[in-house]
Structure formats: C-alpha cells, structure tokens
Structure 1
C-alpha cells in the first residue's frame, strides 16, 4: 500500500482525502516511479474544482508535474532502468501514428493524460518519462514538462520570438509564465510582464522582464504596453491566462503580431470581430502541451543555467489542501511543490 491524496469528486481544496491505496501495477510498457516531488499546477486546480473535465473521472489521484526515481520497468521498456531520475510530460502518446511520426505528438489521438503525482508511487507509460541528470534536484525538474517545456513550445517553436521583438507575457509569475519570461529574454526578446501583484515586480525583473505592468483582473493594460514603445505594442503575446486577459492582450498586439494562446484558467467564452484579426494581420496560434524533444531541451536549459525554475515552497503531501489554496489565490511567486 501507499499514501495518496485522493479526490472523490470536484470541490474546494479540502476535497482531498489522504488515504492508503494499492501501489499501482507495472504493465509491459509502464515505468513505475517513486515520487520525490510533484509540482502543484493550475491544471491540477481546475481539475480539482471541476472547471477542467477532459478525461476526468472519480475517484482520482491528480498531479502531473512529477519527478522521481525509476522503481520498476515493464518488459517492453527500452531506454529507462531502475534508479534513473526522470521527469514527466503532461501526457503519453502512442509514438506510431502519423501525428507522432510527424513531430505532432501533442495531438496524438491516443494520447493519455499524466496524473497520479500526489502519491508515493505512480506508474505511467514509458513515453511519459524523460531522463534527467542526477545532479538536478527533484524539486526543480518536476515542473519542467508542463512549465518550462510548454514555455519553450510557446516562445521558441510557436511564436518564434526574434531578437529585439517586444514580448508580452500574461500570468508572468506562473508556472508557464515565469520560464516564458526567461526563455524570451534569452532569445533576445524585450519582455513586458503582466502581473496582478505589485509584490511580484522585483521577482519578474529578476527573471529578465524589462518592464512589469501591474494590472487588476479585467483591467485593459494595452495603453500601458504601447506607452513603453511609442505606440507599437507587442510583437508577440504569450497568454497563459486566457479569457480574462484576451481583450487587453489583443488590443496590445502590434500589427503583424503573433498571439500564442497557452492557457485558459476560467470557463468563460471570448468574442472578437474577425475584422480586427485581418486588420492587424494577426496570427493566433494554440500552444498544446510539450513534446519529448521540448522537455529534453528544457532540461538542458536548466542544466546550463539559462532557465532557473522558481520554487516558492516545498510542502509535505499532508498539506495538499493548503498548497492548492495558495496556488488558486495566486499567493506565491513560483511553483509550490509537494513531497509525498
């Protein structure tokens, strides 16, 4: 048996029940990992509170940002062995369909979401795991897939930031926002970070943001963005928030700008007159998760010191309800990590 935080239905942070449950079995294609750290992501929050419903059924052990040591492998596992340090992607893919074989594994029709990190052990298909250097702390690597890996997808591979471009990042202190600031800066972008908290200004500047705009939820910050560069606006928007920053972010987008939609933290719809899109010659792209190559590259960026994962607090799994409260309230700068 093992200890786990189990959800029996959607609810508030105190919906978690700490229970003894069976250790997960190891199938032929599976790798069982002894969990050493698990980041608390906003996807965990929206799965727990019922906003995110895709592939969600109860009872459920959530937690997708996992790092640990390989404890057992199935007979078909090729590249991982007992004792390896690994970090998780946000999903596993089949590796054989035309999408996987053309570099589009994040849209594999047979993809399966990664969950189970709020427990002492988790068993997932081998495709969900990427090996990490043994000298990188588990607390740093656990969030790289859904954090820095997705940021790399957004900034480098989707928006294709160029040297000298103005890059607007919403939700800039979050799990994807913070590494987006770091990566865009490393690529030569001039980063404008958006935050709801004045207390996070120094933090965001330490990551490389050239400017930080503190904006209340729903406030249109477009004029403030354009005031920074003579009315030009943002060449690139990396939007990790979604509906509640959409209007302001699109207003701030420069002509011929690229808008990368990374997150949607709320259940609301947006609306826009399509003419505004072609008048700006705007490109709007969805950023979907992280590929194996992107996670490998994100791990390399951390190993080289280009990206430094921001860990706000490390908490025991017994405090998972409090961890979720802090994340849902946006009360910390950086990731909260739980250790089972």
Structure 2
C-alpha cells in the first residue's frame, strides 16, 4: 500500500505541517478519490487560530487533517458501489449523516447543538457514536476515501456527485458554498418573476446567490454589502437585474429596498452575512419581505436575536427558515444548471496553492479576498 502526503494541524494557532500516511483502501461501499482541488472555507483561518471556537462547535482531536470541499477523479471503488467507476470526475459531499434517523430520512440538513467542525454531521440517534469515529478522510491530502470510511455502517453512495467534462474541477471544489446558496434560494421559492434581497452580497455565499438567482429567473436581485469594488462588479451582473447598495453609505436601507420594489417589498430575503453579523439588522430586513414571503438565514456566525411580537409574526406571515447545506438532489440539479450555462460562474477567480503552501493559503484566505475568489489547495501541484 503506497503512502500519500497530507497537511496536518498540530494545535490551534500552530502552523500546518506536511506528513505521510498510508493511502486508505476503499471498503465495499467506499469511493477513493484522487484530490484535484480542495476549496478553503473563508472562515478557516479563524477556526485554526482561535482557541475559543464558535458557539456550538468543537475542533477535532489533534493533529488533524483539515479540508472540506473536494473535487477530483475516482481512483478506486468498493465492490458494492454502483454507477461510479475509476476515472470519473466527481465532487465529494463532506456532509456526513447517520442515514437512518428521522431527520436524515427526510433530508433535513441541520446542525447539531454540539459538533466537531470537521466532518459535518446531522442529528440522529447515532450521532454521539459518530463523534468517536477517527478523523480520517479530510481533504488536505492527495487522496480521500468517501466519508463513510470513518467507521459508519454502509450507505448508498449519495456523497459522490458526478461532474461533467465542461465544469472545471477547481470550480467544483466550491460546490459547498454554491450549493448552500442554491438550496437556500430553492427554500425561498426563487424563480421567474421573483424579487430577492441578499444581505452580505459581497461575500462567498452572496456572490453565489446573485449568480444562482439570475439563473433561476429572478427579475430583480437587490444586494446589501460593504466592499465598494465588489459592489460595482456585482452591479454589472444580470443585464440590469442586479441593484446593490453600501450598508455603510446608505442610511435608509428600507427606503432603498422599497424604491426598487414599487413599495411592495421582496419575495424573499437571503441573509448570508459573515461572523459578527447583526441579528437586529436581520430583523429589520425581514420586515421588508412581502406578506407571505420567506426569510432564509445562512449567516452561521451572526449574533443577536430575532425579536417580533406575536401580532407582528401573525400578521406578517413571513416564514423564517434556516439553511445549512444541500441535498444530493439539489447538488445534482445545480451541477446540471452550471453545465448548461444557465448559472453563469465565469466571474470566479481561482487562487491555487500547493500542499506545501497550505500556511500561505491560510494567510491569504484570512485576508478575506471576497466572494469572487476561490482559494484552493491542489495537492498535485
């Protein structure tokens, strides 16, 4: 059995170092993937530097191999794997599930109250047992098995999505963030004739939401952000369908939204601010959603509470929904739309680093390059 190189984090605040481990052999239901690219989550720098993780999160045991979204080519499959073969171009969905609890069977992708940062887990009767599984299969490595190889009973191969030849595998490594926004907009009922408001539009999720909303046929996309250069770039999307405003310059956001919606408000609001987002501001934006509309919350690091009176909630009749990830069906649908050119992601800029440059990559992503930049580790480079 040959060795593969990996990047390990020895402890919070310490630099990554490279190491070698034995290449994992796929079990009967596993898929071994040769990693082409692994996208770095924009908040990773905070996670590996902060001794106090975000509320409800805990880091895995050290030393650990980080990495979330993976794209690559299939190297080997287990004997029970159907429809996937060596050489296939794939995206590896990192979201682990028990597969048998009520939430999993309904494909309800929600977080546990207390969870390791990697891998992600759904709630279920076996979640505590899953926590004790060894932290194998993370993606700052030259090869990864399907995530079920961490000691979980066999499941159907729903963690692997096939990638058409006309989609760049570097782009496919971004599907975690793209898929989160895609699922959020689907929850919001976005489609032809709809109006969407995106809070945090210049971030990774925000850029994705604008591109996806255009592809889904929304006639008006309103965005609130801070970075003036990125706001200008976004305003050029969609042949005039996108209107943006600076949250630091515009003092009357509500008036601005109403001026672009004939005073009616928006069909849905997608809140995707980064860490430190203000829940009070979110509540004000929810008030701009039409009666019977939807507010979709994806700002995992937002602070504060959403407060409204009973009468306000009853009369507004606006559904407030959280979105955390996406289903296998949703990622397949998104991939088809990207492949067909319906969702245009040509704005994406790929910034690649080798495995030996992982610490440089962390510093780069820590400077928050913005939603148009896809920061990736390419172990083979």
Same fold (TM over 0.5): yes
In structure 1, the residue matched to 2:266 is: 234
Query: Are residue 120 (structure 1) and residue 142 (structure 2) matched?
Result: yes
Q: Contact 2:289 / 2:295 at 8 angstroms: preserved in 1? A: no
Q: Alpha-carbon deviation of 1:230?
A: 4.4
User: d(CA) in 2 for partners of 1:201 and 1:247?
Assistant: 23
Select the residue among 145, 164, 167 that pairs with 2:193. Answer: 164
Tell which deviates more after alignment, 59-68 or 239-248: 239-248
Q: Contact 2:269 / 2:289 at 8 angstroms: preserved in 1? A: no
CA separation of 1:170 and 1:60: change in aligned 2, threshold 3 A:
farther
CA separation of 1:326 and 1:235: change in aligned 2, threshold 3 A:
farther
How big is each residue's C-alpha offset from its partner over 1:142-201, in whole Å with a ceiling of 9 and x where there is no partner? 112x12222221112x11124333211123233332221122122332111222200102
Q: Alpha-carbon deviation of 1:40?
A: 1.2
How do 1:6-85 and structure 2 match up within 5 A? Answer: 6-11=8-13, 15-42=15-42, 44-45=44-45, 47-50=47-50, 51-52=53-54, 53-54=57-58, 56-85=60-89
In structure 2, the residue matched to 1:287 is: 323
User: d(CA) in 2 for partners of 1:23 and 1:191?
Assistant: 46
In structure 1, the residue matched to 2:231 is: 201
In structure 1, the residue matched to 2:151 is: none
**Cα RMSD, aligned residues only:** 3.0
Q: Contact 2:71 / 2:91 at 8 angstroms: preserved in 1? A: yes
Select the residue among 324, 336, 345 that pairs with 1:300. Answer: 336
Q: Alpha-carbon deviation of 1:326?
A: 3.4
In structure 2, the residue matched to 1:177 is: 206
Q: Contact 1:170 / 1:241 at 8 angstroms: preserved in 2? A: yes
User: d(CA) in 1 for partners of 2:265 and 2:79?
Assistant: 54
Query: Are residue 188 (structure 1) and residue 221 (structure 2) matched?
Result: no
User: d(CA) in 2 for partners of 1:260 and 1:228?
Assistant: 20
User: d(CA) in 1 for partners of 2:259 and 2:368?
Assistant: 27
How big is each residue's C-alpha offset from its partner over 1:200-223, in whole Å with a ceiling of 9 and x where there is no partner? 023213443511112249x88444
Q: Alpha-carbon deviation of 1:139?
A: 0.6
Tell which deviates more after alignment, 170-179 or 81-90: 170-179
Select the residue among 4, 17, 35 that pairs with 1:2. Answer: 4
Q: Alpha-carbon deviation of 1:45?
A: 4.3
Q: Alpha-carbon deviation of 1:87?
A: 0.2
User: d(CA) in 1 for partners of 2:278 and 2:192?
Assistant: 25
Q: Contact 1:2 / 1:120 at 8 angstroms: preserved in 2? A: yes
User: d(CA) in 1 for partners of 2:236 and 2:342?
Assistant: 13
Gaps of 5+ in 2: 111-121, 149-156
Query: Are residue 335 (structure 1) and residue 364 (structure 2) matched?
Result: no
Gaps of 5+ in 1: none
User: d(CA) in 1 for partners of 2:366 and 2:307?
Assistant: 28
Give the TM-score of the pair, scaled to structure 2: 0.77
Q: Alpha-carbon deviation of 1:84?
A: 1.1
CA separation of 1:251 and 1:105: change in aligned 2, threshold 3 A:
closer
User: d(CA) in 1 for partners of 2:208 and 2:199?
Assistant: 12
Q: Alpha-carbon deviation of 1:33?
A: 0.8
Task: Look up the SS of the partner of 2:178 in the other structure.
Answer: helix
CA separation of 1:322 and 1:222: change in aligned 2, threshold 3 A:
farther
User: d(CA) in 1 for partners of 2:376 and 2:4?
Assistant: 19
